[in-house]
Amino acid sequence: MSQVVFSSWGREVVDNRQGGETDLASINLKLAESYLDQGKVSAFIGWDGIILLDRETDVVALAAEYMKRVQEKHCCAKCSPGKRGTRVLQDALARIVNGEGKEQDLASIESVATLLDNCKCTLCMTSAIPVFDAVKHFRNDFVAYINGEKKPKTAKFYKDRVTAPCIDRCPAHIDIPTYIEEIKERRHDESLATIRDYMPIPAVCGRVCPHPCETGCRRALVDEPVSIMVMKRVASDHEWLHHKQPPMVPKPPTGKNVVVVGAGPAGLTCAYYLALEGHKVKIIEMLEEPGGTVAVGIPDYRMPRPLLRREAEIIEALGVEIEYGVKLGQDVSLRELKENYDAVFLGTGAFKSKPMGVEGEDQGYDGFSEGGIHYLRAVALGQGMVTPKRVIVVGGGNTAIDCVRVALREGAEDSILVYRRTRAEMPAESYEVDDAEEENVQFEFLRNPTKLIVENNKVVGVEVIKMELGEPDESGRRRPQEVPGSEYVIDCDMVIPAIGQDPDLSYLEDGDYGIEQTRWNSIVTHGGTMMTDNEGVFAGGDCEYGAMTVVLAVGHGRRAARVMNRYLTEGKVYLDADDAMEDMFNRFGVFDKNEVIGISGGLHREHQPKIDGAERATNYEEIELAMPESQAVREAERCLRCYRVGMVAVD
Amino acid sequence: MINLKIDGNQVQIGSGATILMAAEKADVKIPTLCYLKKVSPTGACRICVVEIEGADKPMTACNTQATEGMVVTTQTEKLAAIRKQIVELLLVNHPLDCPVCDAGGECDLQNICYDLDVATQPFMAEDVNAGVIDKWPLIQQVPNRCVMCEKCVKVCHETVGSSALFISERGDKAFIDKDLSLCEFCGNCVSACPTGTMISKTFKFKARPWELTKTSSVCTYCAAQCQVDINVKNKQVYRVTSKDDVTVNDGNLCIGGYFGYGYINSEKRLTSPQVKSGGQMQKADWSEALSTVVDKIKAIRDESGASALAGLSSPRLTNEENYLFQKLFRAGIGSNNIDSEARFGALRVQKILNDKLGLKGASHSISHIGKADAVLVVGSDVTAEAPALDWQIEAACRSKRDGKLIVANMRPVKLTRHANTPLEYKPGSEVALVNALSKLILEKGQADEAQLKDLVANFDEMKAHLEKVDVKAAAESCGLSVDLLEEAAGYLGAAGSVALIFGGDICKSKNAEQSIAAIANLAIVSGALSGEAGGLFPVDEKGNSQGLIEMGAYPEMLPGYQDYAANKATFEKAWRATLPADGKDALGILEGIEKGEIKFLYLAATNPLVSFPMSNRWRQALEKVEFLVVQDILSSDLVALADVVLPGASFAEKTGSVTALDNRVSCLSKAIPCVGDAREDWEVFGEIYMRLVGKSDCPDSDLILQEIRELVPVYEGVCFAGGGHGQICLKSNFEIKPGQLQYTAVDAAPAEEGLQLLSGKSMFHFGTTSTFADGPLSVVDAGYVEINSDDAAAVSIKDGDRVKVSVGDASVTVVARVDDCYRQGILFAPYHFADANIQGLMPGVQNRVAATLSKA
């Protein structure tokens, strides 16, 4: 573990220049010690200070280079102190490094750095912090330059990137502050274009994203987080509600052919970005419609399928061909794909339900569903699924919630969710649990099924045992424990287990493709490139990570497409600086939950109008209605534009 | 309501208000630079920082919402230091060219330096500003004077809705750039610019602001009649400006208002009377010219009777002038052969709306558009015809509120790109479209039937007729999907208030009467006619068509919509004259000349060779007529045809009132004396009248106004208090009495197929005068025809080629503008350019005709 020479990160000064030892871990800094395989990280300069790992680092040159990049590459110029102030800083630092500095330049730097606290956003504002730290803690080095006693010693190279806590928390790393500002300015087309630079299915992610970004929203430290997800829907709705044609135009054809397996979020995303680069992309999809889990796992009242299909049509309009009803491992083998295409992307999802471990579940009884995901799919595709009067769904995740709510819409009079912990531990989004409750779903918490009760080969009930919560397990949630002898039977006509899904990788079994899998049955890829052990075969989404979110699949699909493009055009598989810095920041962490923002708040988060619970539970009409654009503007005005620039020095 | 304290003053203000608004209410002055009231706050300059109790950091007053119990301090040493430092930063590399900067003397940066006592420059930086941008027409951009307040960007995006301006580059190199293809050249960026960054090329280096005398008046280029200040030095108009907040147009102007004044001091102005002598036009003095006219009137009248004399008036003239013109003809000459170009559009609208709805002009003030929940613009490029209505639509549907915009037209117009529902219908399918919308609203139960039963005289007929409308057939005829029609009707039906706007593409077309009646029906069904927002807004592109109609400058009506035959006696008594039994309209006059029955024609500020359909026929008639009087301000082909030329005055040189499309009556002010020997037009009419009736004194304008008030009922309550902004009056409000509304059962005609030539108004030109103004000419300097790429490819025409557009035997040759954004099958051509003579291709009173295209 690297030793810290100096750190002012987080306003905690660790100074070992005169001796002493502190390793990164001891001060909770998850800074990468090397930059890809290109060298050692000698220093990091960014929004919350400076970290030196190499005693030889020239902090004055580091600060000068940082401010030059902030001003010339990142400063948006949309506020007076930022636009001109960072230029004054850049020039003062450059003069010093060039041996033309004067003592009064230091005063000027300190004065302007202080003034930048009044910037419109945090980009220039936070960029002043490490510069201020440098002058404060390395004053002698500056004076040495000014006195002509020091010559610059630059690092082998520097890499910088702009980020924000929300951008970092979003697995697709969307440029959130920009698209929100564009909503604020009522530039919806531009906003959508910004989103599409990072994700091609905004109508989906504007509706059903669990929005991890919002857990990193600094506005929450003032009042409530910005409704980041809904802003995406606003931009996306604006386009189709105005009958506008998407403006994207692919680059000229490269002559390369790519096959994408699965038209789910990962596959669609990968296909979109590859098509924009001019590659010919074909998607094969086992279902008869696009969207994967989004189409058949998320009910239409949350994600109307016509909009999902529109997203796919937009991608097809870029020249992507989708062939439906083709299943990998059944209709075509991976070997054939490898032979016929220049690259392969696997986005096959996670469609295998986990077993409950309950007596009788493998007997094929009438009234026992194979799993929540299967139930939802059968309903979505209209495969003759008949839902009886009394349904029990087992599980506490989003799929379980979707199942109980769909069961109501399919005619169940009693739709009962059985979960072994309490409501507080449910992994489902709490607003969805609220929604289900409003629709009269019944909850049986602290209950676990033990046995199916069957008459004439038909399920008539389920035996459950009462549970109580013990000590927390590795996930941090309190472990449920059985209360001995508390078993009893809940009558029902149908049981749907919805306790999780795994990828079905059986298509890898009929031959040795040299693709490593994890013990959770997911595909292993390497170093953020999304490439498997088999060169030219990439994977992403649920089949790579295990059942996770749409937005993670999008992030995977985009990253894979970026790397595949390099593979196809340069024959090399690597991460560029944007990818590498994105990953570095992600490990380092950008959101500081203890930050004191220091502004006045009191502005509540705006919510979309919603159809009433009793009214909506009878149909599949979309529950959440479009937020009026002026309300979206008010919400967007709450964004603090928490941009910040980080830069590593590599030697 | 929110209660807060600012500098110790307790303030109460509506929820959602900013600290700056609260401070304004409390009379606390917070310095600002980038703040512009009419657009959303930008928060760029940070000068309005204030301290808020409980917040560590100063916050900007312009965009921080006031919250309950907030305690704000606006003046502290810390704040003063921040403000001062920011201005010091703004001055780094700001050029010291104030002496030659156009903004010198009216520069917010100068003012704030003075206010904040910024006298030193402690900072320095390399000057990386972009160079001066000189390649744009009309506007020069000087980046090193820019403070990046984004006022220009915001006005362009929010108020004007063209969104042409944007920030280019990053950091200190950033500058305001422009997408020229989106620019409307309205100049609002120049007026919003707090420094000399955005400069008007037509004004640059011409005058210092403090040398200019401002006269408040009204722009008469279009019927929205924006309030302006005419800036004058040495009896010349140097620029036209408008003030935010206090004007109906909130300081906004268009290319006409801002850059279009050049014709006033044009070298082509007619500056002295001319009389034809020996086949040549010779300068003459007024007395001689007027005697010639009066003698000729008498001679022809004696010889052929008064009905051998005719006159065409103009929507460019004031109310008083139009009044005097019709009085001159009816009472002075004894002929009722008077008309104007309103015949080809505005009058048709007026007749139908008056007959069917009892409506005279628009139903409401144009500010009602800005508050509407849904706006339907049908058959109008309203941005070109009345830009101020576009700004209201931007507010209603884009920048301030969430109104739904439906744009129905046979061709794409600027507003199409903002439309929720664009309805690009086939030419000729207007009635089908509008009927379908009415039907759908009624059918879906979205009309207020109870109210309609009360207000509509023939409610049952209306229901029965609309029930029979076949929406599917209508959609097919329009070339649109039923879904799209249902969506549009859904928006109109669901809206609490609806604004219906229609214009030239409908009103001047061949079957305009049917379309207008269908729109009147839709106004009834959609409830547009009542309520606190929305309304029905017919748009005629010309400045004072409304006033012209109300002054009775057409044969059917006496002033104030008084039927000619029925009210003749009243006027005979008042005017102490005998009025003729009947009169000819414009077409009758044309035919009369052709038949040799009409021997004398008086053209008052109107040019049939450019703005009338069938202009070739008019040319022959003007060549034929025995005696032609041309009273105009600019030299045109008419001069060569005239027997007497009488130089009139531009709007800047005259007094008088004008009536906007929404019934606002305002007064012009004389900002400069008439150029040369020109005279205000009303004086000329008055003089001729007096000479004819044998009196010596010309009536003054007050007397004319007095007479109008007495004889014209709609103007009874209007106070004409002279020029300026404070004296606007409205004619009486539109009120609907039970049974007042009349539904008209009009049925759709089949849409027309094949290539259609459509003539109309350009966004950059106005009538026949802006083609004499350098400003608009620097954007568009000649006629052209817009052609869809596929139509052009079919006859191997490329952008910029000269093309021949033919209708029957007639043809014109113009430059082709080829783009795939134009609608296939439609050839649109602006009519303003005499050389292009597009109106010569119109075979009748219409603005659209089947045409063929070939390479010239």
Residue B581 lies in a domain: yes
Chain B residues whose beta carbon lies within 8 Å of the beta carbon of residue A185 = 40, 157
* Statement: residue A616 has pLDDT above 90: no
Tell the residue number behind the tokens 């199409």, with chain if given.
Answer: B416
Do the Cβ atoms of B669 and B262 come closer than 8 Å? no
Q: Which two tokens stand for residue B550?
A: 């109300």
Distance from C-alpha of A57 to C-alpha of A69, rounded to nearest angstrom: 18
Residues B442 and B458 in one domain: yes
Three-class SS of residue A282? strand
Residue B710 lies in a domain: yes
Report which residue type is found at A444.
E
CB count in 10 Å sphere of residue B80: 13
The reply to whether residue A80 touches residue B90, judged by beta carbons under 8 angstroms, is yes
Mutate to test the interface with A, among B123, B124, B152 (most CBs of A within 10 A): B123
Structural element, H or E, at residue A195: helix A188-196
Q: What are phi and psi of B596, to 5 degrees?
A: 80, 10
Mean pLDDT of B396-402: 96
A1 — pLDDT class (breaks 50, 70, 90): low
Mean pLDDT of B358-363: 94
Shortest distance, CA B451 to any CA of chain A (angstroms): 29
Chain B residues whose beta carbon lies within 8 Å of the beta carbon of residue A119 = 46
Distances (CA, A) of B207 to A357, B213, B667, B777: 90, 11, 27, 22
Residues A387 and A471 in one domain: yes
Helices (H), B508-651: 512-526, 545-550, 564-575, 586-595, 608-611, 615-624, 637-641
Total domains, chain B: 5
* Statement: residue B727 has pLDDT above 60: no
Mean pLDDT of A453-476: 90
The reply to whether residue A79 touches residue B163, judged by beta carbons under 8 angstroms, is no
Pick A76's closest partner by Cβ from B60, B92, B170. Answer: B170
Residues B704 and B605 in one domain: yes
Residue A78 lies in a domain: yes
The reply to whether residue B92 touches residue A78, judged by beta carbons under 8 angstroms, is no
With CA atoms as reference, the chain A residue closest to B63 would be: A637
B351 — pLDDT class (breaks 50, 70, 90): very high
Tens digit of each residue's pLDDT (9 = 90 or more) over B31-41: 999 999 999 99
Q: Which of B791, B762, B796 is nearest to B779 (CA)?
A: B762
What pLDDT, on a 0 to 100 scale, did the predictor assign at position A364? 87
Mean pLDDT of B7-13: 97
Shortest distance, CA B400 to any CA of chain A (angstroms): 7
Shortest distance, CA A347 to any CA of chain B (angstroms): 36
Q: Which of B673, B731, B375, B674 is nearest to B551 (CA)?
A: B731
Q: Does the beta carbon of A180 lie under 8 angstroms from any beta carbon of chain B?
A: no
Average pLDDT in chain B: 95
Residues A570 and A616 in one domain: no
The parent domain of residue A135 ranges over 6-163+643-650
Q: Does the beta carbon of A91 lie under 8 angstroms from any beta carbon of chain B?
A: yes
Distance from C-alpha of A69 to C-alpha of A607, rounded to nearest angstrom: 38
Q: Could you tell me the CATH number of the domain that includes residue A218?
A: 1.10.1060
Residues A483 and A537 in one domain: no
Q: Could you tell me the CATH number of the domain that includes residue B708?
A: 3.40.50.740
The reply to whether residue A72 touches residue B402, judged by beta carbons under 8 angstroms, is no
Q: Could you tell me the CATH number of the domain that includes residue B821?
A: 2.40.40.20
Helix axis angle for A59-69 and A139-146, nearest 10°, is 90
Q: Which two tokens stand for residue B29?
A: 């002055």
Residues A454 and A525 in one domain: no
Taking CB atoms and an 8 Å cut-off, how many pairs form between chains A and B?
Answer: 144
Domain boundary among B538, B562, B578: B538
Chain B residues whose beta carbon lies within 8 Å of the beta carbon of residue A73 = 170-171
Helices (H), A494-538: none
Chain A residues whose beta carbon lies within 8 Å of the beta carbon of residue B172 = 71, 75, 77, 83-84, 86-87
Tell the residue number behind the tokens 């006045």, with chain if given.
Answer: A600
Q: Which of B611, B651, B641, B563 is nearest to B767 (CA)?
A: B611
Q: What are phi and psi of A372, to 5 degrees?
A: -55, -45
Q: Please, which residues 23-62 of chain B have a Cβ atom closer than 8 Å to chain A?
A: 40, 42-47, 49, 52, 54-60
Residues A288 and A211 in one domain: no
Tell the residue number behind the tokens 């509706």, with chain if given.
Answer: A207
What pLDDT, on a 0 to 100 scale, did the predictor assign at position B119? 92
Tens digit of each residue's pLDDT (9 = 90 or more) over B577-594: 999 999 999 999 999 999
Q: Which two tokens stand for residue B504?
A: 């030239």
Residues A23 and A158 in one domain: yes
Beta bridge partners of A464: A449, A488
Residue A443 lies in a domain: yes
Residues B290 and B233 in one domain: no
The reply to whether residue A118 touches residue B86, judged by beta carbons under 8 angstroms, is yes
Q: Does the beta carbon of A598 lie under 8 angstroms from any beta carbon of chain B?
A: yes
Residues B303 and B394 in one domain: no
Residue A83 lies in a domain: yes
Beta bridge partners of A34: A40
DSSP B204: T
Residue A583 lies in a domain: no
The reply to whether residue B172 touches residue A83, judged by beta carbons under 8 angstroms, is yes
Q: What percent of chain B has pLDDT over 90?
A: 93
DSSP A229: H
Q: Could you tell me the CATH number of the domain that includes residue B382?
A: 3.40.228.10
Cβ-proximal residues to A125 (8 Å cutoff; 6+ apart), any chain? A82, A116, A117, A118, A119
The reply to whether residue B171 touches residue A77, judged by beta carbons under 8 angstroms, is yes
The reply to whether residue B157 touches residue A243, judged by beta carbons under 8 angstroms, is no
Tens digit of each residue's pLDDT (9 = 90 or more) over A396-418: 999 999 999 999 999 999 999 99
Residues B574 and B465 in one domain: no
* Statement: residue B692 has pLDDT above 70: yes
What pLDDT, on a 0 to 100 scale, did the predictor assign at position B701? 73
Q: Does the beta carbon of B172 lie under 8 angstroms from any beta carbon of chain A?
A: yes
Distance from C-alpha of A58 to C-alpha of A152, rounded to nearest angstrom: 7
Residues B116 and B25 in one domain: no
Q: Does the beta carbon of B120 lie under 8 angstroms from any beta carbon of chain A?
A: no
Do the Cβ atoms of B94 and B128 come closer than 8 Å? no
Total domains, chain A: 4
Three-class SS of residue A256? coil
Tens digit of each residue's pLDDT (9 = 90 or more) over B810-830: 999 999 999 999 999 999 999
Residue B741 lies in a domain: no
Distance from C-alpha of B210 to C-alpha of B233, rounded to nearest angstrom: 10
Report which residue type is found at B185.
F
Residue A581 lies in a domain: no
Shortest distance, CA B126 to any CA of chain A (angstroms): 7
Residues A39 and A62 in one domain: yes
Chain B residues whose beta carbon lies within 8 Å of the beta carbon of residue A75 = 170-172, 174
Chain A residues whose beta carbon lies within 8 Å of the beta carbon of residue B54 = 600
The parent domain of residue B798 ranges over 756-855
Sequence length of chain A is 651
Q: What are phi and psi of A478, to 5 degrees?
A: -70, 135
Mutate to test the interface with B, among A78, A117, A181, A638 (most CBs of B within 10 A): A78
Q: Which two tokens stand for residue B234?
A: 């040495």
The reply to whether residue B63 touches residue A637, judged by beta carbons under 8 angstroms, is yes
Residue A585 lies in a domain: no
Helices (H), A342-397: 372-380
Q: Does the beta carbon of A85 lie under 8 angstroms from any beta carbon of chain B?
A: yes
Residues B554 and B672 in one domain: yes
Q: Does the beta carbon of B124 lie under 8 angstroms from any beta carbon of chain A?
A: yes
With CA atoms as reference, the chain A residue closest to B174 would be: A77
Residues B333 and B456 in one domain: no
With CA atoms as reference, the chain B residue closest to A222 would be: B55
Chain A residues whose beta carbon lies within 8 Å of the beta carbon of residue B44 = 78-80, 120
B730 — pLDDT class (breaks 50, 70, 90): low
Tens digit of each residue's pLDDT (9 = 90 or more) over A54-73: 999 999 999 999 999 999 99
Q: Does the beta carbon of A125 lie under 8 angstroms from any beta carbon of chain B?
A: no
* Statement: residue B425 has pLDDT above 50: yes
Residue A1 lies in a domain: no
DSSP A366: B
DSSP A644: E
Name the residue with higher pLDDT: A364 or A298: A298
Q: Could you tell me the CATH number of the domain that includes residue B19?
A: 3.10.20.740
* Statement: residue A597 has pLDDT above 50: yes
Q: Which of B289, B294, B220 is nearest to B260 (CA)?
A: B220
Mutate to test the interface with A, among B51, B172, B195 (most CBs of A within 10 A): B172
What pLDDT, on a 0 to 100 scale, did the predictor assign at position B729? 67
Q: Does the beta carbon of A112 lie under 8 angstroms from any beta carbon of chain B?
A: yes
Residue B749 lies in a domain: no
What pLDDT, on a 0 to 100 scale, did the predictor assign at position B726? 46
Report which residue type is found at A642.
C
DSSP B399: I
Residues B681 and B554 in one domain: yes
Q: Does the beta carbon of A600 lie under 8 angstroms from any beta carbon of chain B?
A: yes
Three-class SS of residue B631? strand
Residues B341 and B377 in one domain: no
Q: Does the beta carbon of B398 lie under 8 angstroms from any beta carbon of chain A?
A: yes
Tens digit of each residue's pLDDT (9 = 90 or more) over A318-377: 999 999 999 999 999 999 999 999 999 999 999 999 888 888 888 889 999 999 999 999
Shortest distance, CA B47 to any CA of chain A (angstroms): 9
* Statement: residue A421 has pLDDT above 80: yes
A510 — pLDDT class (breaks 50, 70, 90): low
